Structure 1
Amino acid sequence: MSPFKGKTGFKRILNAGGYSLDGLRAAFTGEAAFRQLVLLNVILIPLSFFLNVSRVERALLIAVCLLALIVELLNSAIEAVVDRISLDLHPLSKNAKDMGSAAQFVVLTMIAVVWALILL
């Protein structure tokens, strides 16, 4: 068991919330791709409320946008861990970073496909 897992109850929830905000702040200040996706979300999510679509379709339009932020956070975390371990070039490090990037590519493609299918 980790020595960092000492908090329980409401205190743990407050700490977790603080750590989450720290992670969002770190991603926004340190990751240009995250800031670009936030901008995309700032445009697309409000736009979804002006479209003549069902509530389920609107929820799907919003969900795929938010999924891109989640994937970018995970991709950035993978990159940070790989860089923390070593800045040396290594095939496994490259694979890990490339797979994170591929995940982001898939979710961006999903945004395009979902929005196109619903709107066209």
Structure 2
Amino acid sequence: MRTSQATVGRASNGAPHAVGAGSATEHEAEHTAAGIEPFDDVSEPAPPNHADAAHGLNGSDGANLANDTQHEPLSPDDPLAPLPFNPYKGNRGLTRAWHAMKNSLAGFRVAIREESAFRQELTLAAILIPCGLLVPVDPVSRVLLLGSVLLVLIVELLNSSVEAAIDRISLERHELSRRAKDLGSAAVMVALGMCVMTWALIVGPLVAHWLEAVL
């Protein structure tokens, strides 16, 4: 019996089909020349394209989805979120300056009435500031003397404000609350040390010279 020249091949999708001997030989030669074994040109299906899927949506649905994405509300923790409305920030110009001055004076009154440390430092400032104005030093040294005293008052006011904010949150003992108050006290101590150092370096030699002249 004569063998048929048709051979059974297999398509890329796995279905058998009959091809001629010459055609099969030519097909194998083409793949061999390209460096690909027969039937190795079967590729995996490409992953779905999300962009095409988006284009395949209905026009109105796609527009609504885009609008929802663009106008998605920001969370309160987002730095780009708008700040809540503050009715106390509506003043402008001289009105704002007037209210700021009244609030500052109210802060001084509260600090004098409620903070014993501020009262002590204010008493010290009432003694040192006139001395700094009368001592015979150059203008730069005078500014340093007066500025070191005022710096102590500034830091004490900031420390008192931090303590008031912590007490407003909670009066219970907490490690973070204690740490914040200790850091404020450390800042006051540094300011006091700077004041003592400034007066000792500038006024100290003058006092020593006066004592030598008297004795």
User: TM class, shorter-chain normalised?
Assistant: over 0.9
The runs of 5 or more residues in structure 1 that have no matched partner are none
Partner of 1:43: 127
Alignment partner, residue 172 of structure 2: 88
The one of 93, 116, 138 equivalent to 1:54 is 138
**Length-normalised TM-score, structure 1:** 0.96
Q: Could you report, residue by residue, the CA deviation over 1:46-100 in whole angstroms, capped at 9, with x for unpaired residues?
A: 0112222111101110000001000000000000000010000001000100000
2:155 — aligned with what?
A: 71
Q: Where do 5+ consecutive residues of structure 2 fail to align? A: 1-82, 206-215
In 1, Cα distance between the equivalents of 2:189 and 2:115? 16
Whole-angstrom distance in 1 between the partners of 2:103 and 2:136:
38
Larger strand share, 1 or 2: 2
Q: Distance in 2 between matches of 1:111 and 1:5?
A: 36
User: Residue 200 of structure 2 corresponds to which residue in structure 1?
Assistant: 116
Aligned-partner Cα distance in 2 for 1:39–1:21: 18
Higher relative contact order (CA 8 A, sep 6+): 1
Q: How many residues align?
A: 120
The structure in which a higher percent of residues are helix is: 1
1-structure distance, mates of 2:100, 2:133: 31
Compare CA radii of gyration and give the structure with the larger one. Answer: 2
- For 2:186, the aligned partner's letter is A
Q: What is the SS of the residue equivalent to 1:89?
A: coil
Counterpart code for 2:137? V
Identity of aligned residues (%): 50
Matched letter for residue 114 of structure 1:
T
**4+ residue stretches of structure 1 with deviation over 4 A?**
none
1:13 aligns with 2:13: no
Matching residue of 2:8 = none
